[in-house]
Amino acid sequence: MSRRNSFILGVTSFLLPLLLLAISILLSPWFRWEANALSDLGHATGSRAAWIYNLGLVTGGIFLIIYSLNYSSRNFPITSKVMVLTGYSLVLVGTFDEVYRGLHYIVSVLFFLLLAIAALSYSYESKKNYPIAIVIVSVVAWILQLTAICPCGEAVPEIISVLLTLVWYFDLVLKVYRTGKWS
């Protein structure tokens, strides 16, 4: 696959789920940032947009796995392995939606923990410190929500964590693109 195609796959693995998330929100007038989790959009029996939302998660997870295995593993082997697990956990979040209750909670928590571990791995391998700050901000967002200091739904720390991940992840994608080295 060409450098251009690797770049497109890397970017699409995150932008496609975000695009389908945005469409799901637009199709769900009941959704409120102050009251909901993003996964409420994927509830198979409670959301008309569930198929769109869950399709974004599953497809994005598969793309992330493919990208991590085929492109980022040579430059960032540890981060790549963690991102394979992150992609798989994203597939699980989309597969085991809120209808599965406890199982959904476990795979969702796993996804966000793996995002943080991936950021720390990237910080170590790239020798850049800002991914550590991203993890700290994400953890603070979760603490504020879980302790009700911030009266918001889980969607707020979820989207903060995902959007902050884009910063270091796009840095990784650009580095892989510029070097043209992959497995």
91-128 burial code (b ≥16 CB/10 A, e <16): bbbbbbbbeeeeebeebbebbbebbbbbbbbbbebbee
At residue 159's C-alpha, the angle toward residues 155 and 164, to 5°, is 155
Alpha helices in the chain (DSSP H): 3-26, 50-67, 77-95, 102-126, 130-146, 155-179
* Among the listed residues 37, 85, 142, the one whose alpha carbon sits nearest the alpha carbon of residue 134: 142
User: pTM for this structure?
Assistant: 0.94
> How confident is the model at residue 133, as a pLDDT?
98
Return per-residue pLDDT of the chain as tens, 183 residues. Answer: 678 889 999 999 999 999 999 999 999 999 999 999 999 999 999 999 999 999 999 999 999 999 999 999 999 999 999 999 999 999 999 999 999 999 999 999 999 999 999 999 999 999 999 999 999 999 999 999 999 999 999 999 999 999 999 999 999 999 999 988 765
